[in-house]
Amino acid sequence: MKLLFENWRKYLNESKLRVFDFDDTLAKTDAKVVATTPDGETFYMNPAEFSQHKKDDRNQYDFSEFDEVINPREIHQITNILRNAVSAPGQREIIILSARNPIAQEAVEEWLDSIGIDSSKINFVGLADPLPAAKANWIENRIIDGATNILFFDDSDTNVAAVKELKEKYKE
């Protein structure tokens, strides 16, 4: 009987956190990273290409197109999961955790509302940092603050791997 009460207490104290990436997870957009090499050559990368790109500190990178949501196309499989999370009974925190700058929040929220997802029930966190460690560090801080039931949706294998390491670090 004691075990039953302990399990029930854990359920009552559970803190549900649902985390969604934006680019190439919830939506495909036409925003590009503009990179300029030291010799002046400019090239453009979409989010998937940039995630595979080995960043060169000699290059200049311009992410300003990501301040807007350019020609968004919904990725229904994941937006349907987001819709279910938003409308599900019970308490949960829903986050869009993006490498985009915080200035993109309004554009992302407008797009969510335009496809029938209530953005008022979702918090946008713009990290302004494309490195996988940025997302992992943000989620780790949430674990430290008490999040116990976390679902993470991201198209980037490196982001998923960085967050998955936390599962090992914070085993129950």
User: How do residues 117-126 score in pLDDT, each as one tens digit?
Assistant: 999 999 999 9
Find the distance separating the first CA and the last CA of the chain, reported in whole Å. Answer: 21
| Contact criterion met (CB below 8 Å) for 79 and 32 | no
Confidence of residue 172 (pLDDT cuts 50, 70, 90): low
Percentage of residues in the chain with pLDDT exceeding 90? 80
Residues in the chain: 172
Q: Give the ranges where 53-104 is alpha helix by DSSP (H).
A: 76-87
User: Which residue type sits at 51?
Assistant: S
Mean pLDDT over each residue of the chain, to the nearest integer: 91
Compute the distance between CA of residue 135 and CA of residue 125 in angstroms, rounded to an integer. 10
112 or 131, which is more confident: 112
Structure letter (DSSP) for residue 128: S
Structure letter (DSSP) for residue 40: S
- Which H or E element spans position 83? helix 76-87
User: How do residues 9-61 score in pLDDT, each as one tens digit?
Assistant: 444 457 899 999 999 999 999 999 999 999 999 999 998 898 888 889 999 99
- Which H or E element spans position 113? helix 105-114
